[in-house]
Amino acid sequence: MTDLRSVDLDALADRTGIRVEFYDPAGTRYGFPTFPYHFAPTGLATRRQLRAAGLRPGGHDPVAQILWRHRAQRRIAYLYRLDLAAPKRTATPAQREAIAKALRARRTCRVCGDLKPYYIPRRFGECLDCHEGSQS
């Protein structure tokens, strides 16, 4: 992971004199190696890409970033090394049971006690049937 330069982006700057705004592989401009959207070097991935591959950063800090503009805001995504990524941890049976219990509680009405096929709206605190009955 020593050379993070992009041959295409370097050639563009050399050929046309156009400097790509978010291309800073040395980190001199942004203080961190920076790449434009869709130009991340191979061997680096975002958290979402790691998750899709069944991996996690594994406690390692990001080594680079992607910057892009979305409407008037500057957006950022951190890049992690794939060779240092660890496999995702799986939930234990007790954790899965606790999650299922919590999700079941979100579907149980506090007023009538029925288990609904949808999550009870928090703004009402009761199922839609009970809420409609209390409004009349």
CA distance 32 to 80: 13
Residue-wise pLDDT tens digits, 111-125: 999 999 999 999 998
Q: Are strands 55-56 and 44-45 parallel, antiparallel or unpaired?
A: unpaired
Mean pLDDT of the chain: 88
- What integer pLDDT is reported at residue 29 of this predicted model? 86
Q: What percent of the chain has pLDDT over 90?
A: 59
The full 3-state SS of 113-126, as one line of letters, equals CCECCCCCCCCCCC
Place 107 in a pLDDT band, splitting at 50, 70 and 90. very high
- What integer pLDDT is reported at residue 18 of this predicted model? 60
Domain ranges of the chain: 7-87, 93-135
- What integer pLDDT is reported at residue 97 of this predicted model? 98
Residue-wise pLDDT tens digits, 39-57: 888 999 999 999 999 999 9
- What integer pLDDT is reported at residue 15 of this predicted model? 67
Number of Cβ within a 10 Å radius of residue 105:
11
Residue-wise pLDDT tens digits, 17-39: 666 778 888 888 888 899 888 88
- What integer pLDDT is reported at residue 13 of this predicted model? 66
